[in-house]
């Protein structure tokens, strides 16, 4: 007789008493999503899988009205990187001890965008960028 790889449904653990919780349990409670994730059944595969519907992408600033710092990787010439570091060093030597490379880049980008009429990317382009970012995070290629 062939083996079945289907697993029995996982047993649901009863909630811990407050006296049994540690700091990580309390942190997990704070991170619980406020909106449920919509799933649809995947009938073309085994029964215990589901796929998540992807909703429209919204930017952080559209939701919170605040700017959030985002980590981004750029390929930069060594000459520019050295100039940036030298510039920050010079500003610090002139008394601005808290001046950072991040602030220098912000100043440079503000000057670059100053007086230039910039059109916003269409929603479908932002959607493509977001889906590509999610595929990269999950380790899935094109």
Per DSSP, the residues of 124-136 read HHHHHHHHHHHHH
Q: What are the pLDDT digits (tens) for 14-47? A: 777 766 777 677 677 766 555 555 555 555 555 5
Give the per-residue pLDDT at 28.
72
Domain membership of residue 96 (yes or no) is: yes
The structure's pTM equals: 0.48
Domains in the chain, number: 1
The whole-number pLDDT of residue 99 equals 95
85 lies in a domain?
A: yes
Q: For residue 88, tell me if it sits in a domain.
A: yes
Interhelix angle for 101-113 vs 78-93, to 10°? 110
pLDDT tens figures, 40-95: 555 555 555 555 554 555 555 555 556 788 888 889 999 999 999 999 999 999 99
The answer to whether position 65 is within a domain reads: no
What is the distance between the alpha carbons of residues 94 and 141, in angstroms, rounded to a whole number? 48
97 in any annotated domain:
yes
Gap between the terminal Cα atoms of the chain: 39
Q: Flag whether 89 is in a domain.
A: yes
- The residue segments making up the domain with residue 103 are 75-116
What is the per-residue pLDDT across 120-133, written as a single tens digit (0 to 9) for each?
999 999 999 999 98
Distance CA 95, CA 105 (A): 19
Q: Is residue 52 part of a domain?
A: no
Residue 87 lies in a domain: yes
């Amino acid at each position: 007789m062939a083996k079945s790889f289907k697993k029995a449904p996982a047993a649901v653990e009863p909630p811990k008493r407050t006296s049994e919780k540690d700091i990580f349990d309390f942190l997990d409670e704070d991170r619980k999503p406020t909106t449920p994730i919509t799933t649809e059944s995947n009938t073309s595969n085994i029964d215990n899988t589901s796929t998540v519907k992807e909703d429209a992408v919204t930017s952080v600033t559209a939701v919170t009205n605040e700017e959030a710092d985002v980590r981004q990787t750029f390929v930069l010439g060594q000459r520019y990187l050295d100039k940036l570091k030298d510039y920050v060093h010079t500003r610090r030597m002139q008394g601005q001890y808290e001046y950072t490379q991040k602030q220098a880049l912000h100043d440079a980008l503000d000057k670059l965008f100053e007086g230039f009429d910039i059109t916003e990317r269409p929603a479908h382009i932002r959607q493509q960028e977001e889906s590509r970012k999610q595929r990269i995070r999950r380790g899935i290629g094109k």
